[in-house]
Amino acid sequence: MGEESPDNRQPTAILIAIVIAVAAIAFIQSYARWLDPIIDTGRDLYIPEQIAKGAKLYRDIRYQYPPLAPYLLALITGAIGHSLAAYVAIGIAQSATVAASLWIALRRPLPAFAATLSFVAMCFCGASTWGANFIFPYSYGATIGMTLLCIALASFVHGRSAIAITALVLASWCKLEYAVAAMVIVIILTIARRIAWRQLAAYCGAMIATIAMVAFYFRDTHWWSENVFAAWQHGERARRFFALVSGVRRFCFCSAGETGSPESPS
């Protein structure tokens, strides 16, 4: 194989200009079209403010994901304000983090140009479709978790296993799917000898410790059976909630010829 040119692995002025131009185009063509009036997005905008006012997740508010995202958003918006502008800033920050992590991860195995393409592709991913963008997503648990997974990827590629494992543990507390993915990633990397047994032990210890902390904090709630695992375990609270939201309960109520109003969702 011949020697690599100096620009093969490093960004050139042209590539940097392309990145800036593409980001600007993606921002302009999607400006003010990020937010969609859907229940999922509204939930994630509403819950952090309620937490900041003293409400407790799973006890006062139904939430079907692990608790990291809403509490993190409550912490951030408590500092910068509960406004749409604050959420735009959060969305742009996580978008930039994902793009940077992908570029950092890919610039080692690929030339700088190919790594730049990942950023270009990411800029237009879901930029114009409802609920599928990083600025006002259908679920901040999904986008924050994906951001952490991208950080883990970049860290593993560059041999920063401690950072990677920390990111995987945090991602696990955003969505259950990410918890499963993180566990599979750690097992595969251990088998492939990309991480040492002590790092596997650190991951397992961190997961056990965080589970214990969450279980203790939410000990007065049904966070496990009626919230986080509601979709899998068919919790009664989940069935009642989705029946009301979808209108099924109201339809059955009216079909039965009863009078009055059906129960409000909790």
Q: What is the pLDDT of residues 103-146, one digit of tens each?
A: 888 777 666 666 666 666 665 555 545 666 788 888 899 999 99
| Domain ranges within the chain, ordered by starting residue | 13-220, 234-266
What is the tens place of the pLDDT at every residue in 3-39? 444 445 555 677 778 777 877 887 787 787 777 777 7
Total-model pTM: 0.77
The three-class DSSP label of residue 167 is: helix
Burial label for 234, CB within 10 Å (0-12, 13-18, 19+), is exposed
Q: How many CB atoms lie within 10 A of CB 210?
A: 16
Q: Is the distance from CB of 74 to CB of 128 less than 8 angstroms?
A: no
Q: Is the distance from CB of 162 to CB of 62 less than 8 angstroms?
A: no
Nearest CA to 45 out of 95, 93, 79, 91 is that of 91
What per-residue confidence (pLDDT) applies to 116? 64
Q: Which residue has the higher pLDDT, 248 or 154?
A: 154
Q: Which residue has the higher pLDDT, 222 or 116?
A: 222
Of 8-12, 60-64, 71-75, 184-188, give the lowest mean pLDDT range: 8-12
Q: What is the mean pLDDT of the chain?
A: 79
Contacts of 257 (CB under 8 A, 6+ apart): none
Give the phi and the psi of residue 80 in degrees, each rounded to 5: -105, -5
What per-residue confidence (pLDDT) applies to 86? 92
What per-residue confidence (pLDDT) applies to 52? 92
The three-class DSSP label of residue 66 is: coil
Max Cα-Cα span within the chain = 82
